Amino acid sequence: MTDCIFCRIVAGDIPCAKVYEDEKVLAFLDINPLMPGHTLLIPKKHAETLFDMSPEEAAACGAALQKVAAAVFKGLDAEGLNVLQNNYEISGQEIFHVHFHLMPRKTGDGFKVPWPAKKYGPGEMESVLQKILKAF
Ligand code: AMP
Ligand code: ZN
């Protein structure tokens, strides 16, 4: 897709700071990082969200994710690492070519993922579980 910025990076029309490449996957530094080493990992084949990828592309991303995360973690001398993947606008997706954020973490980096945990009401957990199980 020529109107997709990440497809243009894959095609070499837009430069990137390449971290990793194989037959199906590309990883490069985020241009507006939350911290140094913030890396994006994408399938080379265009897919808008996680749900639009083939199982083969998803598996290739999963395998590369572990490899690239390990290098980012080690190379940046990190103490932790977050993986974040946004699907659809409501979740914060801005670029509609599926991508995984790899974010190396250090004490005092100032990055905090809001985590407003809630409690299930009576019987709610079981009914939620059934909704998911029926959707496979
Ligand atoms: P998301 O909000 O999950 O869609 O994240 C999109 C990410 O892509 C943002 O963190 C941007 O900084 C990043 N981004 C946008 N354009 C480029 C680019 N040309 N090279 C590298 N990263 C980019
Ligand atoms: Zn694309």
Residue 21 maps to which CATH number?
A: 3.30.428.10
* Predicted pLDDT at 2: 73
Question: With contact defined as beta carbons under 8 Å apart, do 37 and 129 qualify?
Answer: no
* 130 Cα: distance to centroid of ligand 1 (angstroms): 36
Tokens of 67: 């490899």
Phi, psi of 117 (to 5 degrees): -65, 145
* 117 Cα: distance to centroid of ligand 1 (angstroms): 27
**Relative to the alpha carbon of 35, which ligand is closest?**
1
Question: Is pLDDT at 23 greater than 80 in this prediction?
Answer: yes
**How confident is the model over 24-50, as pLDDT tens digits?**
999 999 999 999 999 999 999 999 999
User: Which of 38, 97, 99, 101 is flagged as catalytic?
Assistant: 99
Question: With contact defined as beta carbons under 8 Å apart, do 30 and 82 qualify?
Answer: no
**Relative to the alpha carbon of 7, which ligand is closest?**
2
* Predicted pLDDT at 1: 63
Bridge-based pairing of strands 18-21 and 25-29 is antiparallel
Bridge-based pairing of strands 18-21 and 80-84 is unpaired
Query: Structurally, how many domains does the chain consist of?
Result: 1
Question: What's the mean pLDDT in 49-54?
Answer: 98
Q: Residue 37 is part of which domain span?
A: 5-134
* 127 Cα: distance to centroid of ligand 1 (angstroms): 37
* Predicted pLDDT at 113: 84
Q: Which of 73, 81, 71 is nearest to 113 (CA)?
A: 81
